[in-house]
Structure 1
Amino acid sequence: MANKNDETILLLKKKVELQREELAKLPRSLQSETSTVFTPPDVDKKSIRVMNVEQLKLLKVQLHMYEMAASDLDMDLDEFTISGFTIDKWMHDIDTQISVLTRAEKEKKLKETENTLNKLLSDDKRTELELEALAKMLM
């Protein structure tokens, strides 16, 4: 028989599983539309694969400034390229990489939460759950 704490823990574990399902919708890796090496004319090369989320956001701001300037100058945005790729393609890759990094961090936190919840379960409830899992496997 489960105690009240076990019931609470099981509810929290269900929430963890729901969050894990939401994370499954995010990309695991960057399927790039660009070379991923950003080479603007005024700075050194930058690889979006090695940047953190804050650096990617700053790069996105920089790209947006280029986009606004090109628009103000009546330039065709499809012809305005950086390192051979349009701003739209760069924005796509940056957004995807931010999602990849965010997913990895959230997965790590969920795993830690799940491990803590598993440790908090009573021995009786843990045994009950393991027996249920074994019974399902044998059916």
Structure 2
Amino acid sequence: MANQNNDLRILELKKQIETKKKYLSGRKVRFTPETNCILELDGSKHNLNVLDGGALMFLMLKLNLYNMSADNLKMPHPTISGYSVDLWINDIKSKLSVSGMKREEADLHKMEAKLDKLLSEEKKTELEIDEIAALLN
């Protein structure tokens, strides 16, 4: 009886995972930068394609300081490495969004694999039989 209750709970969780996967695939975005992704700032080169999330957020905060300072000083927003600060910030936001979605998808796949392992042998057999029957109909 405990196995049956666990199996039902596992199947419900798998449905929730499937719903989230469909939701994520519906909002699938591709990173299409407006800059060349190589930002030279304070004597260092930063490649947006290889920086991790923490470094990207720090860089975005630093860039935003330039915009805020320009606003406070009533100056035009600066251009860095040939692009406006706003374009750099937009690219970083986009990169963070895409990497966040990829991480979430990977987490869902891991959870799904764990749940598959937790199913009882009887339930696994039943699901495989149901799958074969569905293919034959």
Same fold (TM over 0.5): yes
Gaps of 5+ in 2: none
Preserved CA contact (<8 Å) 1:53 1:98: yes
* Aligned partner letter, 1:49: N
Q: Distance in 2 between matches of 1:26 and 1:95?
A: 15
Closer, same or farther in 2 for the Cα pair 1:3/1:103, shift >3 Å? same
Structure number with greater CO (CA < 8 Å, separation at least 6) is: 1
Structure 2-normalised TM-score? 0.86
Aligned to 1:66: 66
* Aligned partner letter, 2:110: E
Structure 1-normalised TM-score? 0.85
CA deviation string 1:33-59 (max 9, x = no partner): 11001112x221101110000000100
> Alignment partner of 2:44: what SS?
coil
Q: Distance in 2 between matches of 1:16 and 1:119?
A: 15
Count of matched residue pairs = 134
Q: Distance in 1 between matches of 2:32 and 2:134?
A: 37
RMSD: 1.8
Aligned to 1:95: 93
Which is richer in helix? Answer: 2
> Alignment partner of 1:39: what SS?
strand
Gaps of 5+ in 1: none
Aligned residue runs from structure 1 range 6-25, under 5 A: 6-24=7-25, 25=27
Closer, same or farther in 2 for the Cα pair 1:53/1:130, shift >3 Å? same
* Aligned partner letter, 1:61: L
1:99 Cα shift? 1.5
CA deviation string 1:52-91 (max 9, x = no partner): 00000100100110001111222233xx311111122111
* Aligned partner letter, 1:19: K
